[in-house]
């Protein structure tokens, strides 16, 4: 009987190609060699140039780095950082991109944990990084990336990237690296994420996960060959939400950006015709508030995460011809894992109503299969918009695991789901909405208080530019919420308290309201609540 | 030393989901339950309805069909045919979609070869199919699909689809099928392809190949949630080039179409706002030539294959606001495998120059990794635009193999490439261009003559509406080309001969030029050259 059943098929080399985002570069460089691939100030590279640079770095790396070893890059969004996203995995090695703002001890911890073979570092932090490397028992080689376009003066003490590349020699048929990989589950990058406690964990991405996430992102954001992607999101952050590979898959143009400044963004809009950019709402606010702000000639999309865009930002962007797209994810999910898919009938809603809809973190993107909310025992909670639990995700857009940290991996993957550590609800329509970070939730008198909920109320006040709510220790209640607000013009704090009283259960109304000039934020735009807590203690 | 190397990762259920296009339906039905999924005349189904129909058919099928068994569907592009593309693989079975125009002996051959368990058939050909089934030793069950919207009267002798579904019972949590699969290399469909010789071969598609091809197609054609996809291309043909799944991935609306008639297409443009459709150039011509033809309110894309669109068709489509996209593929490549990617500078070319560029079959689509031209020993020929050889393709967009035909599979996959049987060249820019079918090439005095090349010349004449060139036996030369042309107004055949003389090497000029009212074509739009040869003998 079994002969009449077609149970499976066999993989043939003709029809089974391991998935890898490296193939995107091969395809775009072959098909569109003359199209602009990378723009950085006066530097403009075609896809043919870009590919040649990738092959050159790969040849140079291959002299000392073996497949499976780690290469670190500490740099802002320069063309070299983008090249590294292809050249390092091209030789079978693993890219470890790092935030230049890390502290020396963080660098040395990571270099040691990842056993980095070489560290490439931008001149701006070359001293700190060289010291961090030198402090190790087996120090990695340190190579300086000199940014003649927008960077600082070179140290003139470290070996340079240019010299490193010179050793690569000329490209020949024999030393050209193939864009195909033997194993789609091989690691492509190692991204360290700082937890609230303990040392940073190394998040492993695979070639398969990167391929599927990149394609999912470009499909959702609607990139194509005419798109101009502006690098406002750091490439060291989840490999730029996989857009380092995604914008190449669609043969779009990467517009690199050293620093996220208002003027530089508007220059890019005006001179390069930017169509897509990603970033925290703070990036959106900075675009809107610019004196030069004007309606764009052709529509653009701003993909935003970290916190929900408030009505004023949505309206502000739309007036400029920019559509906001709200996504949610973590380093462990290759960046965005869910997307707030706009429903057809939302077009008829007022901007305030749409903001309420758009505030939700949404539904799984194509690369993921499911998102749910679970109780502490891992039982799925009803999608009723009320039951709060931990948000969990599964799908090809989830990391392979934490490098050399089986205990943390097992904990994160308990029950076959990735546990985000974020608290949320699932609405009856399947959209999830974050209520709080697991660590940030305020527990008062045994009741959970969502700081995000209160922040939403505060944001709805026209004179509030920014707001954060934290919990402070309280003898009677355990914890009580207090609010920090940035004013946008005249702001009466008593009025704000009244607003909260009218919108929230009494126990949720903050005990205190403080005016602050600016909220402390991480490089990725998340509010540093720990810093706020220190202010209050 | 190996401990410092990150060679691979392990697949966790949290982060490794087998790829399947069934997940597209789950996602779209969950996220956009109220959006229109399927339109067919007065029948309009939301994604929630669509999913319920899929689950219902799956429940009914599961009563008699086991995983790995084959279910045949003989029908035009009705909603039921679309539902089958999800319901059959949902129970782990393999869908075998068939062209209603096949002959009785072809049906019986396929039912027997595929060991079909059940055959669903549209009333129009229910008699032929029931007889074909009854002729077998172990006849499959035959269920009649009655199309009340546009079909013919039911036979009233066969069990009906409605009755079949009734046995499914109500949907409960327990009998709802999961959209995840255990093995992404499991077969999803079995598509029979008629070779030039021998019985049809059963082409096996996998869940993985279908997923990647569908996503590649939607990315290249730029579908999104607002797209309206018109079903001019048969679903029985490569599962509608995987758009049965692709247009669901993007939560677009499927506009079903029983017969490809000019009026029905224009009705769909006007009433449904069609944005995308696929088909042979004959579909394009029929759109252009309609009396109702007018510029569309919003732009559309027509993806065309089988033969290159001539300048008149390109210009005609563009005047209507329709962008032609030229793709190339075979049943063995899930339909389109290559795409003619337009280069940025082509926008400056005249329509004739663009037509020459657009005539080329192009470069690999995202789901494939490589295309090449090889000599009979499998050696890759130079990409010089001159060296003719067999076009070969590799990538995830290539079939798993021919069902129960190891010899044919091995031959097709010789050297790790899929051999298309088409003769072409590869241009220096990597674009391939077909010169002829391996079987159709005209060999005259030892020289190869490409009938496509001559047809291209004929098409460039303003008074030629359609053209085909075939080889006829010749005592002296072996074979000689003759041309069949469809006139568009007054056509002087002598002038046509002069045109060929001025454009072609003398030996390539056809010996005879015949006027014909219409070229014989297959259901997928390919010219039936064998029929023409019979005219001439």
Question: Average pLDDT of chain A?
Answer: 92
For residues B286 and B465, give the distance between their C-alpha atoms in angstroms, rounded to a whole number.
Answer: 12
Of A146-150, A199-203, B238-242, B290-294, least confident by mean pLDDT is A199-203
Q: Which of A312-321, A487-496, B270-279 tops mean pLDDT? A: B270-279
pLDDT of amino acid A439: 58
- State the smallest CA–CA distance between residue B334 and chain A in angstroms: 11
* Number of other residues whose CB lies within 10 A of the CB of residue A408: 16
Task: Flag whether residue A16 sits within 8 Å of chain B, measured between CB atoms.
Answer: yes
Q: Is the pLDDT assigned to residue B197 strictly greater than 60?
A: no
Q: How far is A2 from chain B (nearest CA, A)?
A: 9
Give the pLDDT score at B448: 60
What average pLDDT score do residues B14-38 get?
97
pLDDT digits (tens, 9 = 90+) for B482-506: 999 999 888 999 999 999 988 777 8
Name the nearest CA neighbour of B355 among B367, B366, B346, B365.
B346
Chain B, nearest residue to A368 by Cα: B17
**Mutation to test the B interface, candidates A11, A14, A35, most B Cβ within 10 Å:** A14
Q: Is A473 on the interface with B (CB under 8 A)?
A: no
Check residues A477 and A115 and name the one with the higher pLDDT: A115
Q: Which among A14, A187, A399 has the least Cβ separation from residue B15?
A: A399
Distance, CA of A330 to CA of A309 (rounded, Å): 18
Average pLDDT over residues A105-110: 91
Q: Is A258's pLDDT higher than 90?
A: yes
Q: Which of B12, B67, B400 faces A401 most closely, judged by CB atoms?
A: B12
Contact A31 B66 (CB under 8 A): no
Q: Which residue of A has its CA nearest to B410?
A: A12
Beta strands in B17-128 (DSSP E): 36-40, 43-46, 70-74, 94-98, 116-122
Report the pLDDT averaged over residues A116-133.
Answer: 97
Task: State CA B306 to chain mean position distance.
Answer: 9
Measure in Å the smallest separation between the Cα of A180 and chain B Cα atoms.
9
Could you report the per-residue pLDDT of A244-255, keeping only the tens digit for each?
Answer: 999 999 999 999
Contact of A350 with chain B, judged by CB distance below 8 Å, is answered with no
Instruction: From residue A272, give the alpha-carbon distance in Å to each of A225, A255, A269, B213.
Output: 14, 8, 6, 32
CA dist., res. A298 & res. B345, Å (int): 20
Tell me whether residues A401 and B9 touch, CB distance under 8 A.
yes
Q: Does the pLDDT at position B188 exceed 60? A: yes
Residue range A147-161: mean pLDDT, rounded:
96
| Best CA proximity match to A115, nearest among A102, A129, A96 | A96
What does the block give as tokens for A411? 């904990």
The reply to whether residue A16 touches residue B417, judged by beta carbons under 8 angstroms, is no
Dihedral over Cα of A75, A76, A79, A81: its sign: positive
Query: What length is written for chain A?
Result: 537
Q: Give the rounded percent of residues in chain B with a pLDDT score beyond 90.
A: 75
Cβ <8 Å between A66 and B5: yes
Distance from chain centroid for Cα A60 = 29
Contact B258, B77 (CB under 8 A): yes
For the record, the structure tokens of A187 come out as: 């690691």
Residue pLDDT, tens place only, A363-411: 999 999 999 999 999 999 999 999 999 999 999 999 999 999 999 999 9
Pair type for strands A478-487 and A464-474: antiparallel
Contact call for B9 and A413, based on CB within 8 A: no
Q: What values do phi and psi take at B169, rounded to 5?
A: 75, -175
Under the banding of pLDDT at 50, 70 and 90, the label for residue A446 is: low
- Residue A458: CB atoms within 10 A of its CB come to 22
Between chains, do B394 and A17 touch, taking CB under 8 Å as contact?
yes
Q: Closest Cα to residue A284, out of A360, A232, A351, A350?
A: A232
State how far the Cα of B324 lies from the Cα of B346, in Å rounded to an integer.
14
Is pLDDT of A233 > 80?
yes
3-class secondary structure, A219? helix
Neighbour count for residue A174 (Cβ, 10 Å):
5
Contacts of A206 in chain B (CB under 8 A): 9
Contact A15 B343 (CB under 8 A): no
Q: Cα(B412)–Cα(A276) distance, rounded to whole angstroms?
A: 43
> Which residue in the set B6, B208, B399 is minimally distant from A94, CB to CB?
B6
Residues 474-493, chain A: which have Cβ within 8 Å of B? none
The closest CB to that of A35, out of B206, B218, B344, belongs to B344
State which residue of chain B sits closest to A203, comparing Cα positions: B9
Residues of A whose CB is below 8 A from B68: 4-7
Residues 6+ apart with CB under 8 A from A492: A463
The answer to whether A369 contacts B17, with C-beta atoms less than 8 Å apart, is yes
B372 at A interface, C-beta within 8 A:
no
Distances (CA, A) of B508 to A58, A402, B417, B499, B502: 49, 66, 32, 12, 11
Over residues B41-54, the mean pLDDT reads 98
* Three-class SS state of A120: strand
pTM flag (> 0.90) = no
Contacts of A463 (CB under 8 A, 6+ apart): A487, A488, A489, A490, A491, A492
Considering only CB atoms, B8 lies closest to which of A4, A115, A186, namely A186
Residue A449, pLDDT above cutoff 80: no
SS3 content of chain B, % helix, strand, coil (to 5): 35, 25, 40
Strands laid side by side in the A464-474 sheet: A464-474, A478-487, A512-515
Mutate to test the interface with B, among A1, A9, A188 (most CBs of B within 10 A): A9
Measure CA of the first residue to CA of the last residue in chain A; give whole Å. Answer: 74
Can you give the pLDDT at residue A2? 40
Over residues A92-108, the mean pLDDT reads 92
The pLDDT, as a whole number, for residue A194 is 64
Residues from chain A that touch B417, judged by Cβ atoms under 8 A, are: 14
Task: Please check whether residue B234 touches A, CB under 8 A.
Answer: no
B10 CB neighbours in chain A (<8 A) are 185, 400-401
Residues 98-137 of B with CB under 8 A from A: 115
Cα B215 from Cα B223, distance rounded (Å):
10
Q: How confident is the model at residue B536 (pLDDT cuts 50, 70, 90)?
A: low
Please tell me the distance from the alpha carbon of residue A491 to that of residue A485, in angstroms, as a whole number: 10
- Please give the pLDDT value at position A448: 60
Question: What is the chain B residue with the closest CA to A187?
Answer: B8
Quick one: pLDDT at residue A456?
84
| Residue A362 DSSP SS3 | strand
Q: Average pLDDT of chain B?
A: 92
pLDDT value, residue B1: 35
Q: For A396, which of B8, B16, B204 is closest by C-beta distance? A: B16
Q: Which of A211-220, A277-286, A419-428 has the lowest mean pLDDT?
A: A277-286
Estimate the share of chain A in helix, then strand, then coil, as percent rounded to the nearest 5. 35, 25, 40
The answer to whether the Cβ–Cβ distance between B17 and A344 falls below 8 Å is no
pLDDT more than 70, % of chain A: 95
Of these ranges, A19-33, A95-109, B445-459, the one predicted with the greatest mean pLDDT is A19-33
For chain B, the first-to-last Cα distance in angstroms comes to: 74
Q: Token pair for residue B127?
A: 């008699």
Q: How far is B43 from chain A (nearest CA, A)?
A: 20
Average the pLDDT over B59-64 and give the result. Answer: 97
Across A344-363, average pLDDT: 91
Please tell me if residue A348 touches chain B, with a CB cutoff of 8 Å: no
Residue B359 has pLDDT above 60, yes or no: yes
**The pLDDT value given to residue A286:** 86
Mean pLDDT of B262-279: 96
Reported as a pLDDT band with limits 50, 70 and 90, residue B439 is low
Q: Which two tokens stand for residue A536?
A: 């209050």
Q: Which residue has the higher pLDDT, B225 or A473?
A: B225
Determine which of A2, A3, A5, A6 to mutate to test the interface with B (most B C-beta atoms within 10 Å): A6
Give contacts of B398 with chain A, Cβ < 8 Å.
12, 14-15
pLDDT band of A472, cuts 50, 70, 90: confident
What does the pLDDT read at residue B5? 77
Mutate to test the interface with A, among B6, B46, B112 (most CBs of A within 10 A): B6
pLDDT of residue B363: 98
Residues written for chain B: 537
Q: Nearest-CA neighbor of A88 among A188, A179, A202?
A: A188
Query: Is B181 an 8 Å CB contact of chain A?
Result: no
Given a cut of 50, whether residue A196 has pLDDT beyond it is: no
Alpha-carbon distances of B129 from A10, A124, B284, rounded to whole Å: 32, 76, 32
Q: Is A494 part of the contact surface with chain B (CB cutoff 8 Å)? A: no
pLDDT of residue B508: 85
CB A222 within 8 A of CB B224: yes
CA of B333: which chain A residue's CA is closest? A15
Q: Which residues of B touch A11 (CB under 8 A)?
A: 185, 400
Q: Which residues of B touch A5 (CB under 8 A)?
A: 66-69
Q: Which residues between 247 and 266 in chain B have a beta carbon less than 8 angstroms from any beta carbon of chain A?
A: 249-251
A-B Cβ pairs (cutoff 8 Å, strict): 205
Tokens of A358: 């758009």
Query: How confident is the model over A314-351, as pLDDT tens digits?
Result: 899 999 999 999 999 999 999 999 999 999 999 999 98
CB B310, CB B284: distance < 8 Å: no
Strands B389-395 and B368-374 turn out to be antiparallel
Q: Which token pair is B66?
A: 């086991």
Q: Scan residues 395-434 of B and list those with Cβ closer than 8 Å to A.
A: 395-396, 398-401, 403, 409, 412-413, 416-418, 429-430
Q: With cut-offs at 50, 70 and 90, classify the pLDDT of residue B478.
A: confident
- A61 sits in which H/E element: helix A47-62
**What is the band of A1 on the pLDDT scale with cuts at 50, 70, 90?**
very low
């Amino acid at each position: 009987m079994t002969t009449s059943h077609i149970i499976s098929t066999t993989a043939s080399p003709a029809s089974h190609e391991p998935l890898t985002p490296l193939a995107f570069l091969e395809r775009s460089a072959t098909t569109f060699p003359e199209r602009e691939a990378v723009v950085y100030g006066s530097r403009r590279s075609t896809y043919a140039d870009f590919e040649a640079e990738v092959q050159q770095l790969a040849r140079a790396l291959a002299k000392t780095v073996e497949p499976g070893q780690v290469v670190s890059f500490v740099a802002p969004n320069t063309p070299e950082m983008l090249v590294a996203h292809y050249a390092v995995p091209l030789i079978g090695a693993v890219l470890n991109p790092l935030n230049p703002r890390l502290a020396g001890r963080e660098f040395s911890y990571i270099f040691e944990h990842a056993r980095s073979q070489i560290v490439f570092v931008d001149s701006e932090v070359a001293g700190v990084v060289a010291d961090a490397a030198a402090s190790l028992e087996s120090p990695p080689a340190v190579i300086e990336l000199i940014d003649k376009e927008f960077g600082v003066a070179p140290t003139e003490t470290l070996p340079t990237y240019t010299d490193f590349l010179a050793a690569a020699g000329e490209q020949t048929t024999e030393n050209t690296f193939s864009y195909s990989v033997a194993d789609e589950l091989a690691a492509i990058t190692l991204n360290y994420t700082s937890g609230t406690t303990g040392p940073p964990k190394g998040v492993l991405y695979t070639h398969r996960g990167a391929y599927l996430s990149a394609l999912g992102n470009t499909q959702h954001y609607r990139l194509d060959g005419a798109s101009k992607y502006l690098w406002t999101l750091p490439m060291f952050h989840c490999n730029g939400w996989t857009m380092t590979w995604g914008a190449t898959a669609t043969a779009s143009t990467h517009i690199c950006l050293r620093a996220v400044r208002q003027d530089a963004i508007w220059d890019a809009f005006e001179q390069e015709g930017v169509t897509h950019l990603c970033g925290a709402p703070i990036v959106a606010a900075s675009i809107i508030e610019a004196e030069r702000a004007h309606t764009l000639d052709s529509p653009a999309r701003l993909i935003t995460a970290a916190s929900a865009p408030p009505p004023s930002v949505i309206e502000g962007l739309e007036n400029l011809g920019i559509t906001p797209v709200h996504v949610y994810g973590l380093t462990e999910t290759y960046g965005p894992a869910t997307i707030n898919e706009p429903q057809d009938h939302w077009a008829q809603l007022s901007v305030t109503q749409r903001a309420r809809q758009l505030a939700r973190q949404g539904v799984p993107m194509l690369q993921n299969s499911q998102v749910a909310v679970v109780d502490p025992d891992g039982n799925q909670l009803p999608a009723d918009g009320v039951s709060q639990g931990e948000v969990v995700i599964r799908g090809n857009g989830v990391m392979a695991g934490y490098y050399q940290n089986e205990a943390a991996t097992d904990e994160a993957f308990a029950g076959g789901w990735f546990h985000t550590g974020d608290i949320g609800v699932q609405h009856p329509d399947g959209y999830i909405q974050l209520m709080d970070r697991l660590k940030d939730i305020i527990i008062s008198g045994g009741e959970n208080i969502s700081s995000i909920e209160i922040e939403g109320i505060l944001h709805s006040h026209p004179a509030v530019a920014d707001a954060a709510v934290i919990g402070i220790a309280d003898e009677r209640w355990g914890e009580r919420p207090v609010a920090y607000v940035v004013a946008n013009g005249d702001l009466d704090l008593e009025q704000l308290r009244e607003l909260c009283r009218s919108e929230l259960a009494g126990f949720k109304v903050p005990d205190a309201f403080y005016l602050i000039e600016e909220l402390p934020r991480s490089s990725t735009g998340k509010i540093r609540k720990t810093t706020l807590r220190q202010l209050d203690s």
